[in-house]
Amino acid sequence: MHFEYERLSALDKAHLWHPFTQMKDYMGADPLIIERGEGVMLYDVQGRGYYDGFSSVWLNVHGHNVPELNQAVMDQLARVAHSTLLGMANVPSIELATKLVQIAPPGLNKVFYSDSGATGVEIAIKMAFQYWHNRGIPKKKTFITMNHAYHGDTLGAVSVGAIPLYHEVFRPMLFPAHVIPYPYPYRHANGAAGAMEETLERLRTLLKAKSDEIAAMIVEPIVQGASGIVVMPPGCLSELAEICKRYDVLLIADEVATGFGRTGEMFACGHEGVSPDLMVVGKGLTGGYLPVAATLTTDEVYEAFYADYEEQKTFFHGHSFTGNPLGCSVALASLKLIEDRRVIESVGAKAGFVARKLAGLTDWPNIGEVRQKGLMIGIELVRDKAAREPYDWAERIGVQVCMRAREMGMLTRPLGNVVVFIPPLASTEPELDAMTEILVQSIRDVTEGRIG
């Protein structure tokens, strides 16, 4: 076993280039190499177990190595692993599209598959753009996004991204987008009401002046994830949707992180009864098993593309693995488990349990805010609580906390100074109890200076 670790570790360092990772840092530490998973646990090649405290980047729903999901893959594998959706269909892709339309907000009647959140976002952007073109209104071609937005790493998604650390270097190769503030109550002088008002006012002003040039607005509904799990004030999303509708601007809801029960509703839009014109889902769609994403849209958008071929209104977009049958099968099985096990209904009680476990944290000197919607939790660490002064970026306080948590047996990844806790929805109370204990202890160890 030990030799195997040494061998894999050397090969990892020799050949893998890890995402979102400064490889120079990576080289300095012993890599964690996962070999298997079981329930909410992941095990490394040396046999150590870790709670999956970030759902393997926010996507695991039912835990790992789930018999029903394994079976769905194997059953489909015995039929066909892949066939294309170019000019033909396959059984699971039809069944899944039908199911998605049933559970999606009303009006989203058409499903276009892809294979990651970013490609799903690309599709939404291109569809919105071509929708206006096809309707003979090509002037409507720009996009609105929100400050600190993250929609994935392909170029269209980066163009509507607004996290300077990730996106700025690419700016010269991107299309420009209008950026309005995402309401961030903790860092707004007038709190939630002020933050929301500023957002809505900026949107109204922009649309009053320029709605004839704007194709769509893209938003992470209710929770902006990668910026630090920032939760919108209640009513904000429905107001945004209302304003977009009034000015004839399409609304794209990026539910990649929030979809499939993560925030306590099947989709975050459901908290405020919002039906977007386009909705992107990924991550949890397959329970976190396989790379399938989907862009859902309305009959109205679809019909703008529906024409004689010579009219040149076809949507020329697709990926080799679009509608992959293995992925669609496991997605169907995951959605069945969500219903059979009443997963969405269970999130409220589990979220309440976590909230009670974390309630004391807000009194700690280095904790600025604990933010939570369902089982999506972010804990913002600050150097100076009274002044809300962040830790210096270079200190990487969030990384230190997550490394300490790893030593104690839980995996998670920080977002700058925000420690993220996004457990699998299937986590039981005793598991959530153990995970929050590690979370709290690792924050204490690092902020009290015992570690790091």
DSSP reduced 3-state for 304:
coil
The terminus-to-terminus CA distance of the chain in angstroms comes to 29
- The footprint of ligand PMP (CB under 6 A) covers 116-118, 121, 150-152, 220, 225-226, 254, 256-257, 282
Instruction: Supply the minimum distance, in Å, between the C-beta of residue 152 and ligand PMP.
Output: 3
Binding site for substrate: which residues?
Answer: 150, 283, 318, 413
Q: 52 or 254: whose CB is closer to ligand PMP? A: 254
Rounded to whole angstroms, the Cα distance separating 291 from 284 reads 10
Nearest to 418 by CA among 263, 229, 195: 229
CB 232 within 8 A of CB 271: no
CB 138 → ligand PMP: shortest distance, Å?
A: 27
Residue 359: CB minimum distance to ligand PMP, A: 27
Shortest CB 182 distance to ligand PMP, Å: 12
Task: Name the minimum Å distance from CB 227 to ligand PMP.
Answer: 10
CB of 383 closer than 8 Å to CB of 423: no
Tokens of 343: 């997963």
300 Cβ contact list (under 8 Å, min separation 6): 277
Q: Write down the least CB distance from residue 292 to ligand PMP, Å.
A: 10
Minimum distance between the CB of residue 280 and ligand PMP, rounded to whole angstroms? Answer: 7
Least Å distance, CB 342 to ligand PMP, is: 25
Of the pair 217, 382, the CB lying nearest ligand PMP is at 217
Q: Supply the minimum distance, in Å, between the C-beta of residue 418 and ligand PMP.
A: 14
Task: For the sheet with 34-38, list strands across it.
Answer: 34-38, 41-44, 49-52, 410-411
Residue numbers belonging to the annotated binding site for pyridoxal 5'-phosphate: 117-118, 254, 319-320
Shortest Cβ 282–ligand PMP spacing (Å): 5
Our CB check for ligand PMP shows the closer of 259 and 447 to be 259
* 170 vs 306, beta carbon nearer ligand PMP: 170
In angstroms, rounded to a whole number, what is the distance separating the alpha carbons of residues 416 and 397? 8
C-alpha closest to that of 255 among 294, 301, 203, 298: 294
Angstrom distance (rounded) from CA 375 to CA 40: 14
Give alpha helix (H) positions in 91-135: 91-103, 117-134
Q: How far is CA 85 from the centre of its chain?
A: 26
Residue 102 or 320: the one with the smaller Cβ distance to ligand PMP is: 320
Burial of 26 (0-12, 13-18, 19+ CB in 10 A): middle
Dihedral (C-alpha) 84, 86, 91, 94: value to the nearest 10 degrees? 130
Q: Which amino acid is at 448?
A: E
DSSP string, 355-396: HHHHGGGGGSTTEEEEEEETTEEEEEEEEETTTTEEPPGGG-
Nearer to ligand PMP, 146 or 244 (CB): 146
Q: Specify the residue, 254 or 369, whose C-beta has the smaller distance to ligand PMP.
A: 254
What DSSP designation does 336 have? H
387 Cβ neighbours under 8 A, 6+ residues apart: none
Of the pair 375, 434, the CB lying nearest ligand PMP is at: 375
Report the C-alpha gap between 443 and 280 in whole angstroms. Answer: 34
Which pair of structure tokens corresponds to residue 162?
């607004």
Question: For ligand PMP, which is the closer residue by CB, 225 or 264?
Answer: 225
Cα separation, 212 vs 202, in Å, equals 16
Q: Which is nearer to ligand PMP, 219 or 401 (CB)?
A: 219
Residue nearest to ligand PMP (CB): 117
